[in-house]
Structure 1
Amino acid sequence: MPGVSARGLSHEARRQLAVNLTRVVTLYRSILDAYIIEFFTDNLWGTLPCSWQEALDGLNPPQLATLLLGMPGEGEVARYRSVWPLTLLALKSTAYALAFTRTPGFQTPSEFLENPSQSSRLTAPFRKHVRPKKQHEIRRLGELVKKLSDLTGCTQVVDVGSGQGHLSRFMSLGLGLMVKSIEGDQRLVERAQRLDQELLQALQKEEKRNPQVVHTGPRHRPHHVVRWVDPTALCEELLLPLENSPQSEARLLLTGLHACGDLSVALLRHFCRPEVAALASVGCCYMKLSDPGGYPLSQWVAGLPGRELPYRLREGACHALEEYAERLQKAGPGLRTHCYRAALETVIRRARPELRRPGVQGIPRVHELKIEEYVQRGLQRVGLDPHLPLNLAALRAHQAQENRVVAFFSLALLLAPLVETLILLDRLLYLQEQALPFS
């Protein structure tokens, strides 16, 4: 999708972008703040301008993917059935123009073409106990950290929130870096240490079987530390170099894969310290950011009207617009899940008005169920009588609005990258306010 590159913007342009983002988010907050499971209970379709309803009503999922979300389309799919209102076209153009450039690739990575469960770019010992997605992630992030090490001359890495240590093992035993792994959960650290030993033994066996394959680089076992990193305070352990390290190697590289919520913020704060040479962080779970503390970080964004991002907005920013657009293009029956769940919510509210938006454990094979079957199973999931009398005519009427539910959800996803951009831009402005020369 088109967008704006943060790298090419001046400091003033970044500030102005933050201003524009808060204005747009404020203008369309009602869409962003809506819960799709309340589509029927709160009449979300009725909250849209009538002209938007007319333009979107009747569009099938592939048309929504192309005309609204900007995915490639051909023939009838790519044609507007009617003249869209200027306000809806302006929303679409604004969403494209103000979001940071996104270059997703949902095609299967080449490393999984031969075997979808095994990366061809990781040797067998590093793939064990690691799911394909994680194999791809640790390889990509580990290789990036290695490049940063080569550029900065730093060989010491601190992996924060290291979990079971998959990334740490790849960087240390695979790429020859000295790695300190910091994790707050004692049980995960103990498992990581067992997996370290298992991997070392597997590598030794591999070298015996293939003596012609000689491991030439240093092989450092990760150094694990049990420590909870407080996002509001500096962690001295995080900033300490590894034991027996020459003073010339004292500066550190920080990394974190899936640095959840405030952990990403903690990494940024430590990145501003002179002991740290570089940071490679993959953040996630924006909804777990604390406010204040995790967002906003920068003084500039903190001073803007409309900068508030409540839980629902931050949770929506975690969704991948492109992934959903691909689902729309395929028009699979799984798209009806939101409609079914919204219909279930109407039954729950009638039975227990005080019970709102309860979590419903996953109901398998939703696309094969009739709507009343889904509702009965859903009622059981939330502790209500699955044999409650149902208004089948009302449920059928809800099901007939499936495309409207999908259209509203698509509108929210169109806007979600703007929220993510504001969060990331706030972090960038924070680094600039710390007078870091490369921000």
Structure 2
Amino acid sequence: MNNKKSHEVQVMSELVDKIANYCGIKQVIDIGSGKGYLSSFLSMQYNLKVYGIDSSNINTNGAHERNRKLKKHWRAYQSRARANPKSQRLEKANDSPVQNEIKFKAVNERTLNNSCLQSQDQRTTQDLVPSCVFTEVTTSETSKQTEIDLVAQAQCNESELSEEALAILNVLPADAVEIFSSSQCNSEELCEEEKAQRKMASIKAKASKSSESNLYFPLTSYITAETELGDIITDLEDCIMVGLHTCGDLAANTLRIFTAKPEIKAVCSVGCCYHLLSEQYENQEDCTEEVWGFPMCQYLKDKGWCCGRNARMSACLALERIAVGQMLPTDSLFYRAVLQVIIEENYGVTKSERHVGKIFSKSSSFLDYVRKSLKKLELDDSKLPDSCIMDYYEKYKHRMNELEAFNMLKVVLAPCIEVLILLDRLCYLKEQCFY
């Protein structure tokens, strides 16, 4: 995971865990789980039983492969973690007789000196307190100090190992973790009652693990508003539905499933890709769908509200990035705008199911960009000579500043459009009597 993804996963996992604890549930359904970053973190870090559902077999297989590799690394870490405390404990045990002897002699000398002074001033004290008592007290104090030192060292070692393991633990799936108790390191220092308690806890943990050896289950299925989760998850129970970057209509469908299924007690969804939302009042003559991504609430439906693709594209822009100096890619946006003019005027195409994609980064010039784009769109580029293409570039290049100003305006308005989409979803939930 990159830093951004890692941050998102950790923050959302913490929130989901709090919601799950509040609702008293242990099952999570991750919609649009992708490669399972959020799912595996939830299952391992918070011991939640997670079903990750994604429409892509590639993503599901990738999640399985990722789990396999993480298990391999985890076994190696466990072996090293077990070996470290054992070797350190042996070294401590070998050194302890010498240290005990030194401490014992030093304390004995102080004790003898004190007893001599006391015998000179008060002989009654020597008669009442035999010298053997001093020896017993000294030995007891030394033994306690040694035990304290050993416990402190063990705690320090355990702390260092925990920090070293954190990077692995943060990304491991739940089924990669085996029971590993610190009692293996210092069991000889535990009383019989503590040993019995830890043994019982270990037995319970192993029993739980044998009946449920895997807490993260990647599944492949295409989710719609009518999806029956019981057909996908055989042991469906009270659960929370989550989604990190639920793309397009998937976010809207997640909310519809939540309102329709009583076993789903909570929902935590972060949508994205607003430009892929289906709109009820956009290009109505071309649409046959009955369930739409926008609008969801009856209030906006009654008003026939429509954003349009350009506005929804703007909602994806991040004002925060511009605020910290990460400017918009003006050159690539300019290339794309001129390309659209070329296609409309020379091919009569105003809408296409194909997309140009990230050709700008692979192009050496505007001419190269146009040629590659036309081929990807399956348009005959032989009808356009190089001079014609460059004439378009020269015609519009003086308007790049206008384009940049227009795009900056889109960025400023982006939060307004995004809030409109999010409030539409909130109003929908309120209309369904969810407060």
TM surpasses 0.5: yes
Conserved 8 A contact 1:231-1:262: no
> How many angstroms apart in 2 are the aligned matches of 1:344 and 1:370?
13
> How many angstroms apart in 2 are the aligned matches of 1:302 and 1:239?
34
User: Residue 176 of structure 1 aligns with which residue?
Assistant: 47
Q: CA deviation at 1:393?
A: 6.4
User: Residue 255 of structure 1 aligns with which residue?
Assistant: 242
Change (3 A) 1:350 1:234: same
2:221 counterpart (214, 219, 227): 227
Conserved 8 A contact 2:227-2:257: no
Give the residue type in structure 2 aligned to 1:435. C
Give the residue type in structure 2 aligned to 1:199. L
Conserved 8 A contact 1:371-1:399: no
1:283 counterpart (248, 264, 271): 271
Q: CA deviation at 1:349?
A: 4.1
Conserved 8 A contact 1:241-1:251: no
> How many angstroms apart in 1 are the aligned matches of 2:80 and 2:46?
21
Give the residue type in structure 2 aligned to 1:304. K
Q: CA deviation at 1:394?
A: 5.8
> How many angstroms apart in 2 are the aligned matches of 1:433 and 1:283?
20
Conserved 8 A contact 1:173-1:220: no
1:196-275 matches, within 5 Å, as 196-211=67-82, 212=158, 213=161, 220-237=214-231, 241=235, 250-272=237-259, 273-275=261-263
1:293 aligns with 2:164: no
Give the residue type in structure 1 aligned to 2:249. D
Give the residue type in structure 1 aligned to 2:63. A
2:387 counterpart (377, 386, 389): 389
Q: CA RMSD in A?
A: 3.3
SS in 1 for 2:388: coil
Q: CA deviation at 1:388?
A: 2.9
User: Residue 352 of structure 1 aligns with which residue?
Assistant: 347
CA-to-partner distance for each residue in 1:122-159, whole Å, 9 max, x for gaps?
xxxxxxxx344332322222222122223222121111
> How many angstroms apart in 2 are the aligned matches of 1:176 and 1:271?
23
Please identify the structure whose Cα radius of gyration is greater.
Answer: 2
1:151 counterpart (11, 19, 22): 22
User: Residue 409 of structure 2 aligns with which residue?
Assistant: 411
Q: CA deviation at 1:231?
A: 1.8
Conserved 8 A contact 1:232-1:293: no
Matched positions, count:
296
User: Residue 423 of structure 1 aligns with which residue?
Assistant: 421
> How many angstroms apart in 2 are the aligned matches of 1:311 and 1:193?
36
Q: CA deviation at 1:415?
A: 2.6
Q: CA deviation at 1:288?
A: 2.7
Change (3 A) 1:139 1:377: same
Identity over aligned pairs, percent: 29
> How many angstroms apart in 1 are the aligned matches of 2:31 and 2:11?
17
Q: CA deviation at 1:341?
A: 2.7
User: Residue 65 of structure 2 aligns with which residue?
Assistant: 194
Answer with 181-190 or 138-147: which moved more.
181-190
> How many angstroms apart in 2 are the aligned matches of 1:371 and 1:318?
26
Structure 1 segments unaligned to the other structure (5+ residues): 1-129, 243-249
SS in 2 for 1:135: helix
SS in 2 for 1:401: helix
Return the structure number with greater helix share: 2
TM normalised by structure 2 equals 0.59
Change (3 A) 1:237 1:315: farther
User: Residue 138 of structure 2 aligns with which residue?
Assistant: none
Change (3 A) 1:185 1:375: closer
User: Residue 339 of structure 1 aligns with which residue?
Assistant: 334
User: Residue 168 of structure 2 aligns with which residue?
Assistant: none
TM normalised by structure 1 equals 0.58
Structure 2 segments unaligned to the other structure (5+ residues): 83-157, 163-179, 182-204, 281-290
Conserved 8 A contact 2:35-2:63: yes
Conserved 8 A contact 2:367-2:386: no
